[in-house]
Amino acid sequence: MHERNNLNFCMSLLCKTPVRYCRTELRPDIDFFVYGHRHVALDMQLKNKSRVVILGDFVSIFSYGVFDGENFWLEYVQ
């Protein structure tokens, strides 16, 4: 397999697996599903108010999560 296709396939799996799981576990009382150690940054709205957030990393993406007590979002080091 071509190296770029291999990378795209791996990146796709890194995002799809947690998103699929979150969709099976959706309940009205869950606002956020937060994952780390995936080396991909993602902030995706699911149904209703639930979101899945993958924190990324601090090696190449330089992303981190911020929670203010109500909202959660990704930020990036400049």
Query: pLDDT tens string for the chain (78 positions)?
Result: 344 454 455 456 667 788 888 888 999 999 999 999 888 899 999 987 899 999 988 888 999 999 999 999 999 998
pTM of structure: 0.76
CB of 40 within 8 A of CB of 53? no
User: How many angstroms separate the CA atoms of 10 and 55, rounded?
Assistant: 17
